[in-house]
Structure 1
Amino acid sequence: MDNPFKKILQDEKLPVYIKDRVIDNLNFIKLSLDVSELYTVKVPQALGSVIGESDKKKEQELIEKIINAKKNENNDE
């Protein structure tokens, strides 16, 4: 079997419209990756940080209540 890559003419230039189509396809792929990253990585991170902050505040309030209750118990004794 002959190597088809040896049949390619190296001296010929690629037409401009094909170069433009390749560049457009690459830009579309990059845009698709950026959009998918936005919805699969960035949005969940943002939601997690917002939800996580409120959970941390509630957890800290609960810890403070427990500490105050223990202090009150020790003062009563």
Structure 2
Amino acid sequence: MDNPFKQIIEHQQVPEVLREKVMDDIRLIKLSLDMADLVAIKYPSSILDIFGSTTKKKDNDKNK
């Protein structure tokens, strides 16, 4: 994929479609980083709870 920013002349206004696409990508990256920070850094026990509940469910299903 070509870099669209190389096609922009210095004094030319950026097309609105391109601007929205870049901003959407930035928002998605920020959301991903915030979610990773929330789950992995601030509440790491939530990962253990998620994996622990699936393990317990599998164990309960095997015991039936």
TM-score, normalised relative to structure 1? 0.44
Report the RMSD for the aligned CA atoms in angstroms. 2.3
Q: Which has the higher helix share?
A: 1
Specify every segment of 5 or more residues in structure 1 that has no aligned partner in the other structure, as ranges.
1-6, 47-77
Q: Secondary structure at the match of 1:10?
A: coil
Percent sequence identity is: 32
Partner SS for 2:24: helix
What residue identity is the alignment partner of 1:29?
A: I
Aligned twin of 1:35: 35
The structure with the largest alpha-carbon Rg is 1
C-alpha distance in 2, partners of 1:8/1:41? 39
In the TM superposition, structure 1's runs of 4+ consecutive aligned residues that sit over 4 Å from their partners are: none
Unaligned runs of 5+ in 2: 1-6, 47-64
What is the rounded CA distance, in whole Å, between the counterparts of 2:8 and 2:21 in structure 1? Answer: 20
- TM-score, length of structure 2 as denominator length: 0.51
